[in-house]
Structure 1
Amino acid sequence: MKKSQKTVSELVKFFKKELSGMYPEREIQSIIYIVFEEVLGFSKVDVYAKSDVIPEAEGMEKLAEVFEQLKNYKPIQYIFGKTEFYNLQFFITPGVLIPRQETQELADWIIHENNTHLKKFLDIGTGSGCLAITINKNIFRSIVDACDISDEALTLAEENALNINAKVKFYKADILNWQQYDFFQEYDIIVSNPPYVRESEKNFMLPNVLNYEPHQALFVSDEDPLIFYRVICDLAQIHLKPRGKMYFEVNEALFMDCKILFLEKGFKNVDIRKDINGKFRMMSASRG
């Protein structure tokens, strides 16, 4: 991107043209709004109301830097180090999974079904802490534990909890070997957005995911793609209260396999829900 003088309108057209084919159309529009707000301080209304404005040299230089990173598929959340999730502002760093829209829908489901009385939650594979923190901030008197295998993720999650003023206890744990830890208690609700993308599905993913986001938080082997769900079911048989519930984000291609697994493990009332795009991406099941 040349640092020549351009109006805001011309810059918007330039971004749309150059990013076309790299990102979905709706995502490009969202990226433009974020970039102009972060770099120029423009609201969505300003982008149109000030379409004839020519940004100052410093603003143009920053726009050029951001543009080059976007052309290299660097996620906008990593460029600015933050993202919004359920109307809360989260810090995000490379090495920690970026929260998705589907996970917000999972959070919304959990919140609306469990906001009536005191409950204790466990978030497995917390990442940035988005689920655990959102639950604590939106469910009155909720008690929330969260765990992750990544030191980087736990450091970020603790920073997010402090910044958002949420009360969450974070623990380091390899959930595949959960039996070796003594911090697990008895929970009313267990939630998780575990790795569920099969290695064979990498070919269908965009470079902004493959080249930047942590593979440990995304991928599982084709030989055992439900490994995390199976292990969490085993944990839940001991640490989930009778009539307690589990909530998961799932691979749309494996939701029936997940349902069969939950039933085989003795869980009941398996509920499968579609996300905003009409894909089966969320599930719940109860113990007894």
Structure 2
Amino acid sequence: MTFYEAQQQLQKALTELYDDREAANIADWVMEHVTGLRKIDRIIHKQSPLAPEKVNLLQEYTRQLLTHKPVQYVLHEAWFCGMPFYVDENVLIPRPETEELVEWVSAIGNRHSVDGKRQTAETLRILDVGTGSGCIPVSLKKKLPQAEVYACDVSEGALAVAARNAAAQETPVNFIKIDFLDAGSWSLLPEVDIIVSNPPYIPQSDKNTMFQNVLAHEPHLALFVPDNDALVFYDAIARFAQSNLVSQGCVFVEIHEELGQKTKELFEGKGFYAEVKKDFQGKDRMVKAVLSSQFSV
């Protein structure tokens, strides 16, 4: 089987589940992973034979993909902020929208100030709540190498993945296992300049409208919250920030696109000035919050 034949066979199989464009994109990704060659190189060598062990690997990947398993979990690879991250079913697949959250945070850090107060890179401390794959803290450490970065999660499996990614990218991050909803565990966390989080925020009732590949493979612990308490993590983050955020510190959180105003009002109700920011699709996606008494300084 040649490179060309292998790709055409995979792409044809994927059209059972995906439209032509997505099937082609996934086939390209898989073939690059299997062969180690970029698309242009595979085109040049399209008549080259695919080694038998590579054929077997491709067949196994195809089998998994046809069960609706996301390609990122099949290849154990997801790209975020220009870097490859190891992912498995202990963690969510990093999304492009979250890259915008990282950019917002890093813009503050790169100015070495947090809402007007001068900081040095050495003193900037950042905490990621609910780190999952570690894509947020690892990316922030890359962008702000002199910052001290912390990350916490309740899942041992997620923390193992995050630590693996931090090691692979040579980005020291302090990982801490806690249940963030248990206020009694907050003493294990440091006082910080910036709190960032992409916490669970999808109401249980939204399961009815979600894609099957998400429901079947991505960890529900990192996705869903009760319908009657959809902002439970934001409430905990706001309360934690009241005691563990330094003067002039900021909170940056990713949010449910339909709960932007409610999330903003939650922070405002706890004494913060808050603003909602839209993502590249024009959807409410992020909130920045700072204590009102600090904001006026």
Task: State whether TM-score is above 0.5.
Answer: yes
**SS of structure 1 residue aligned to 2:55:** helix
CA distance in 2, matches of 1:112, 1:89: 22
Query: Could you tell me which residue of structure 1 aligns to residue 240 of structure 2?
Result: 235
CA offset digits 1:81-105 (Å, max 9, x no partner): 2322212222222222221111122
CA offset digits 1:221-261 (Å, max 9, x no partner): 11111111111111111111232111111111211211121
- 1:71 aligned residue (54, 63, 66): 66
Write out aligned runs for 1:5-16 (5 A): 5=1, 7-16=2-11
Using a 3 Å threshold, how does the CA distance of structure 1 residues 113 and 23 change in structure 2: closer, same or farther? farther
Query: Could you tell me which residue of structure 2 aligns to residue 114 of structure 1?
Result: 109
Using a 3 Å threshold, how does the CA distance of structure 1 residues 149 and 13 change in structure 2: closer, same or farther? same
Query: Could you tell me which residue of structure 1 aligns to residue 35 of structure 2?
Result: 40
Query: Could you tell me which residue of structure 2 aligns to residue 209 of structure 1?
Result: 214
Unaligned runs of 5+ in 1: none
Q: Is the 8 A contact 1:241 1:287 kept in 2?
A: no
CA offset digits 1:75-129 (Å, max 9, x no partner): 2222222322212222222222221111122112211222133211110001111
Query: Could you tell me which residue of structure 2 aligns to residue 162 of structure 1?
Result: 167
CA distance in 2, matches of 1:184, 1:22: 44
Unaligned runs of 5+ in 2: 113-120, 293-297
Equivalent residue letter for 2:164 = E
CA distance in 2, matches of 1:111, 1:29: 34
CA distance in 2, matches of 1:203, 1:272: 27
Query: Could you tell me which residue of structure 2 aligns to residue 197 of structure 1?
Result: 202
Write out aligned runs for 1:54-93 (5 A): 54-93=49-88
TM superposition score normalised by structure 1: 0.90
Aligned residues: 282
CA distance in 2, matches of 1:159, 1:176: 25
Using a 3 Å threshold, how does the CA distance of structure 1 residues 97 and 241 change in structure 2: closer, same or farther? same
Using a 3 Å threshold, how does the CA distance of structure 1 residues 55 and 210 change in structure 2: closer, same or farther? same
TM superposition score normalised by structure 2: 0.87
**SS of structure 2 residue aligned to 1:114:** helix
Query: Could you tell me which residue of structure 2 aligns to residue 220 of structure 1?
Result: 225
Equivalent residue letter for 1:71 = L
Deviation at 1:167, TM superposition (A): 1.6
Identity of aligned residues (%): 39
CA distance in 2, matches of 1:23, 1:235: 43
